[in-house]
A and B are shown apart, each in its own frame.
Chain A
């Protein structure tokens, strides 16, 4: 059972271990968001909700929302827009990428898997294409709160491994809470259902086992039919 805290709740006296989601005042650690306490290595408060703030090195799924030479402006489900430079695509382009033909490579509403390569103090965000992951037109995209991403992945990837195995889908979970699923229609439906279930029960314990049980039982039901 996790301990639920609200902003301003006293969490600990151990100032040296104060981590994400906390603040220190008068030698005490307090919660800064509404969430659950994680007291393993450092003391963190894992928020229930909130907006994704990009961090260098994160791999996220973005959507092209604007073309402004020499950048593509990308929505990454964050309060800040990010930009993808023309040169990122130039390497694998057949022709020279120029002012007029940028949309031939990436157009409005296209989805891209990108890596955050730089975030500055003004929250200008630079992206690089994630070469090994090409999001085509197949599959489905679901969007959850980025705060639930660690739950979807599970400890050392246990949850996501099980999901991939039992749903027989390709699943890519991006740091900004966007999830890309590719597989048979029926499998994709099951996968998105389960992911939704994880997000609503993210704060409970023994979740991996319950999810496994749920997946097995729903598979059996399908077989019976």
Chain B
């Protein structure tokens, strides 16, 4: 597909992958997948596959970056070389540094940082497979991993992107829509309070489209919040049913 080539994004009210305008891709969340991390989460959002690991609170290094009043959050968003079509050169680049920064700031309002002066809370998000919207998938996974690590938080953060393709405002863009669409707007929010903690926009939207997009994202974040919640609660209910007789066998 060449740039500038016309793609039929909308056909009979359906999108390229058959979804409606306000439909999410499939989401799968698994809690506590890593043995060595204090908290972890594996998440799939359509064809995105991400894993998040949380360590800490632990001692902050380097020392001069410590904050005497509250914990410092370290957030690293990293794409695996094999996560995209052309091999990605490993290591941090302009894009991943930016995403790490906005993701970290998305969590600053919810984490009770003042509980742990001078310490660091480290979040690592690894993108194993990418299909547009990895930063939102990363934030969703990190949120669950933080809860799993026992980090005190006011609430979970949920995140999703909205955008504009073929003149329509749609939810949760996939790779084709993201690359050739007209606008992309990832949003992170505290779903329960409808409080936005991160918002970026690439492309152009009118004021009206922005409003409609925001509404779509809010609804979707409520759905994602429920999935995150269920994943966390189910984990312990499942454990409960394992009797020790079965365990012995």
A interface residues (Cβ-Cβ under 8 A, vs B): 1, 4, 6-8, 21, 23, 25, 30, 32-35, 47-51, 53, 79-81, 121-123, 145, 147, 197, 200-201, 203-204, 210, 213-214
The 8 Å CB contact of A8, one of B38, B116, B192, is B192
Inter-chain CA distance A85–B68, complex, in Å, is 23
CB distance from A45 to the nearest CB of B (A): 10
How many of B's residues come within 8 Å of A, CB to CB? 36
Q: Name the segment of B4-12, B133-141, B233-241 touching the other chain.
A: B233-241
Majority secondary structure, A binding face? loop
Chain B neighbourhood of A121, CB < 8 A: 117
Chain A neighbourhood of B244, CB < 8 A: 197, 201, 210, 213-214
Q: How many A-B residue pairs have CB under 8 A?
A: 96
Q: Is the CB of A80 within 8 A of B154?
A: no
Q: Is the CB of B154 within 8 A of A23?
A: yes
Inter-chain CA distance A219–B148, complex, in Å, is 35
Q: Is the CB of B232 within 8 A of A50?
A: no
Q: Is the CB of A4 within 8 A of B236?
A: yes
B57 within 8 A of A: yes
Q: Is the CB of B57 within 8 A of A79?
A: yes
Inter-chain CA distance A35–B244, complex, in Å, is 22
B220 within 8 A of A: no
Chain B neighbourhood of A4, CB < 8 A: 232-233, 236-237
B58 within 8 A of A: yes
Chain A neighbourhood of B152, CB < 8 A: 7, 21, 32-33, 50
CB distance from A33 to the nearest CB of B (A): 5
The 8 Å CB contact of A49, one of B150, B192, B233, is B150
Chain A neighbourhood of B58, CB < 8 A: 51, 79
The 8 Å CB contact of B240, one of A21, A30, A35, A204, is A204
CB distance from B199 to the nearest CB of A (A): 20
Q: Is the CB of B57 within 8 A of A81?
A: no
Q: Is the CB of B147 within 8 A of A122?
A: no
Q: Is the CB of B119 within 8 A of A32?
A: no
Inter-chain CA distance A50–B57, complex, in Å, is 8
Q: Is the CB of B117 within 8 A of A7?
A: no
Known: A79-B56, A81-B59. Is A47-B116 also a contact (CB below 8 A)? no
